[in-house]
């Protein structure tokens, strides 16, 4: 879960490191062949003013850091000039790594820009999710009516080259997250520009080329419809800046149809903005959304944020679907609905267990730092971090047609069938049909 935060400055350490890049360049010349004692002396002079800018309380601890930096500047053999920017970024990463918190991390400007763009709920590109498979970039799925789909790309297509440049060299040796980010950065671009993709289609063995005109692509995070027997269905895939607006639109279409009950599907929802989670909760009840436990043991109560009257579903029964991919803000919503709302029950599998809050700071060069600032508790003050939320009805996933239900969101039925198999949704619909929404104390299976 993250807070919106557009701070343009950072802590004294990072300011100091970044500031050093521009300052020291005027003092120290890169050497191609070895060093002499004079080099080390000059490097030390170049650092003296920067050292003086170190806060007094930290000078003793920083003495070793600057000593090593001086040695590198003065003695390290290199055929090319030192990349001081990379050294600074490396120092920042090393500092944050010592905190041993997976959610406190640093992003360089390019990656930070992609993250900011995605969280705003839209981006400029072709509209395709990517994954890494057997060392190749594969189109995982397509945004509806986006340029990629309209051009004829298909899920499973393997991208060989972008504008004639092979992707294999770009992503060689990278882990999946970095590989897909690197590929996405080449494929994305300003609206109206053209990108040419060379792809291999495994189904036919063809190698094809597509010239695709980029456009503004909206990230649809809410899907809603009225199912049989008057049951409303709402899927929220992420908590982005535009999710509340999309949810309100969906509710304004759903509520006039007078749903008798609701399934809220948060499966595989990785989270997003805290503000958005509180706004989503405000459409379903009025009360405590969560507690934040901050430094020093301070506990702060945060409430739901109510929506307009025509977007509220306060009274009807709700089944919330969660699984191991439900994390962060999704766990906030699931836990809050369980603790703070009557006639609500959770179905599925134990959630991921991310119970911390991050501030995102945009730094002076476009990079960003995410800093964990608190842990959160449910309205019943249950800890979630590294624990997760266990639903009252534990149901393993299954797509067998023995659990046939209407095909929801982007699901499509198997060939020759009209319905989809979904054991968790089927169990939730059964609970709503029989109105057995009170926790039984015994995990149920379909």
Nearest to 347 by CA among 302, 301, 291, 405: 405
Active-site residue, from 70, 107, 275, 328: 328
- Count of Cβ atoms closer than 10 Å to residue 386 Cβ: 11
Question: DSSP letter at 295?
Answer: G
Q: Which residues are CB-contacts of 319 (< 8 A; sequence separation ≥ 6)?
A: 261, 262, 263, 264, 344, 345, 346, 347, 428, 429, 431, 432, 437
Binned at pLDDT 50, 70 and 90, residue 35 comes out as very low
Residue 406 covered by a domain: yes
Catalytic residue among 293, 351, 354, 362: 354
In this prediction, residue 218 carries a pLDDT of: 86
Residue 107 in domain: no
Query: Mean per-residue pLDDT for 240-247?
Result: 96
* Statement to judge: residues 239 and 186 lie in one domain: no
Q: 11 — phi, psi (to 5°)?
A: -60, 165
User: Span 22-45, mean pLDDT?
Assistant: 39
Q: Is residue 105 part of a domain?
A: no
Question: Residue 173 — left, alpha, or beta (φ > 0 → left; ψ -120 to 50 → alpha)?
Answer: left
Q: What CA–CA distance (Å, rounded) separates 345 from 341?
A: 9
- The answer, yes or no, to whether residue 440 has pLDDT greater than 80, is no
3-state secondary structure of 382: coil
Range of weakest confidence among 3-17, 192-206, 408-422: 3-17
Query: Is the pLDDT score of 308 beyond 90?
Result: yes
Whether residue 48 has pLDDT greater than 70: no
Last residue of a domain, one of 218, 246, 272: 218
Task: Give yes or no: residues 237 and 205 share one domain.
Answer: no
pLDDT at residue 362, as a whole number: 95
Tell me, yes or no, if 354 is annotated catalytic: yes
Q: Which domain holds residue 27?
A: 10-100
Quick one: 289 and 424 in the same domain? Answer: yes
Report whether pLDDT(15) > 80.
no
CA angle 269, 272, 277 (to 5 degrees): 90
Indicate whether 33 pLDDT > 50.
Answer: no
pLDDT digits (tens, 9 = 90+) for 72-99: 999 999 999 999 999 999 999 999 999 9
Per-residue pLDDT at 52? 67
Q: Reply yes or no on whether the pLDDT at 399 is more than 60.
A: yes
Same domain for 167 and 245, yes or no, is no
Residues 286 and 402 in one domain: yes
**pLDDT at residue 215, rounded to an integer:** 96
Catalytic site residue from 235, 275, 326, 358:
358
Asked if the structure places residue 273 within a domain, the reply is: yes
Mean pLDDT of the chain: 87
Q: Is the pLDDT of residue 222 over 50?
A: yes
Radius of gyration of the chain measured on its C-alpha atoms: 26
Structure tokens at 279: 């706004």
- The pLDDT assigned to 51 comes to 63
Give yes or no: 191 in active site. Answer: no
Least confident of 3-12, 74-83, 231-240, 346-355: 3-12
**Structure token digits, residue 166:** 């092979």
The domain that holds 360 is classified in CATH as 3.90.226.10
pLDDT of the residue at 49: 61
Task: Tell me what pLDDT residue 5 has.
Answer: 55
Residue 1 placed within a domain: no
Residue at a domain's end among 185, 218, 251: 218
Shared domain check, 302 and 236? yes
> Is residue 444 one of the residues assigned to a domain?
no
Higher pLDDT, 302 or 438: 302
Q: How many residues does the chain have?
A: 446
4 falls within a domain: no
Indicate whether 29 pLDDT > 60. Answer: no
Per-residue pLDDT at 1 exceeds 80: no
The band of 117, judged by pLDDT with boundaries at 50, 70 and 90, is: confident
pLDDT at residue number 376:
95
**Mean pLDDT computed over 219-227:** 94
CB 340 within 8 A of CB 368: no
HSE on the CB side for 97, CA within 13 Å? 7
The dihedral over CA atoms of 117, 122, 128, 132, expressed in degrees to the nearest 10, equals 30
Q: Domain for residue 439, yes or no? A: no
Percentage of the chain modeled with pLDDT above 90: 71
Whether residue 96 sits in one domain with residue 34? yes
Residues 91 and 155 in one domain: no
Beta strands 2-3; 356-362: pairing state: parallel
Q: Is 261 helix (H, G, I), strand (E, B) or coil?
A: strand
pLDDT band for position 234 (cuts 50, 70, 90): very high
Measured CA to CA, the distance from residue 422 to residue 396 in angstroms comes to: 10
Q: Name the pairing type of β-strands 128-133 and 136-142.
A: antiparallel
CATH number of the domain that 187 lies in?
A: 2.30.42.10
At CA 299, angle to CA 297 and CA 305, rounded to 5? 155
- Known catalytic residue at 328: yes
270 and 154 together in one domain:
no
Write down the pLDDT at residue 69. 93
What is the pLDDT averaged over residues 303-312? 97
Domain count, the chain: 3
Give tens-digit pLDDT for 161-179: 999 999 999 999 888 878 8
Of the listed ranges 22-26, 93-97, 98-102, the least confidently predicted one is: 22-26
- Angle, to 10 degrees, between the axis of helix 59-75 and the axis of helix 37-52? 150
Residues 281 and 426 in one domain: yes
**Is the model more confident about 34 or about 3?**
3
Domain identity same for 237 and 331: yes
What does the pLDDT read at residue 302? 98
Are 126 and 262 members of one domain?
A: no
Section 119-141 average pLDDT: 90
Q: Of 162, 183, 218, which residue is a domain's last?
A: 218
């Amino acid at each position: 879960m993250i807070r919106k935060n557009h701070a343009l400055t950072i802590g004294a350490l990072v300011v100091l490191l970044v500031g050093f890049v521009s300052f020291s360049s005027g003092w120290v010349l890169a050497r191609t062949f070895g060093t002499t004692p004079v080099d080390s002396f000059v490097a030390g002079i170049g650092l003296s003013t920067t050292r003086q800018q170190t806060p007094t309380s930290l000078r003793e601890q920083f003495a070793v850091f600057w000593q090593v930096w001086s040695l590198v500047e003065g003695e390290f053999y290199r055929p090319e000039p030192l990349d001081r920017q990379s050294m600074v970024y490396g120092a920042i990463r090393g500092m944050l790594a010592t905190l041993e918190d997976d959610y406190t991390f640093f992003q360089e400007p390019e990656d930070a820009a992609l993250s900011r763009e995605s969280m705003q709920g839209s981006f400029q590109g072709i509209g395709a999710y990517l994954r890494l498979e057997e060392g190749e970039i594969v189109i995982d799925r397509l945004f509806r009516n986006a340029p990629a789909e309209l051009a004829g790309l298909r899920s499973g297509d393997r991208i060989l080259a972008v504008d004639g440049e092979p992707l294999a060299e770009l992503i060689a040796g990278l882990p999946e997250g970095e590989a897909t980010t690197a590929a996405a950065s080449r494929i994305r671009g300003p609206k109206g520009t053209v990108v040419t993709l060379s792809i291999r289609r495994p189904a036919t063995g063809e190698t094809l080329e597509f010239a695709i005109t980029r456009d503004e692509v909206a990230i649809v995070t809410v899907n809603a419809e009225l199912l049989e027997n008057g049951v409303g269905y709402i899927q929220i895939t992420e908590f982005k800046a535009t999710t509340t607006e999309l949810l309100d639109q969906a509710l304004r279409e759903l509520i006039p149809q007078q749903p008798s009950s609701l399934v809220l599907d948060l499966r595989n929802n990785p989270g997003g903005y805290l503000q958005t989670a509180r706004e989503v909760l405000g459409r379903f009840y009025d009360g405590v959304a969560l507690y934040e436990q901050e430094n020093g043991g301070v506990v702060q109560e945060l409430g739901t944020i109510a929506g307009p009257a025509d977007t509220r579903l306060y009274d009807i029964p709700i089944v919330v679907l969660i699984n191991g991919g439900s994390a962060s803000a999704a766990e906030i919503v699931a836990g809050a609905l369980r603790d703070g709302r009557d006639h609500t029950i959770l179905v599925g599998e134990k959630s991921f267990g991310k119970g911390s809050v991050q501030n995102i700071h945009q730094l002076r060069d476009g990079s960003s730092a995410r800093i964990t600032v608190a842990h959160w508790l449910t309205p019943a003050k249950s800890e979630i971090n590294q624990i997760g939320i266990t639903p009252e009805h534990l149901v393993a996933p299954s797509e067998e047609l023995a659990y046939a239900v209407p095909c929801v969101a982007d699901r499509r039925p198997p060939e020759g069938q009209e319905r989809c198999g979904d054991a968790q949704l089927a169990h939730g619909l059964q609970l709503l049909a029989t109105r057995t929404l009170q926790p039984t104390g015994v995990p149920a299976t379909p």
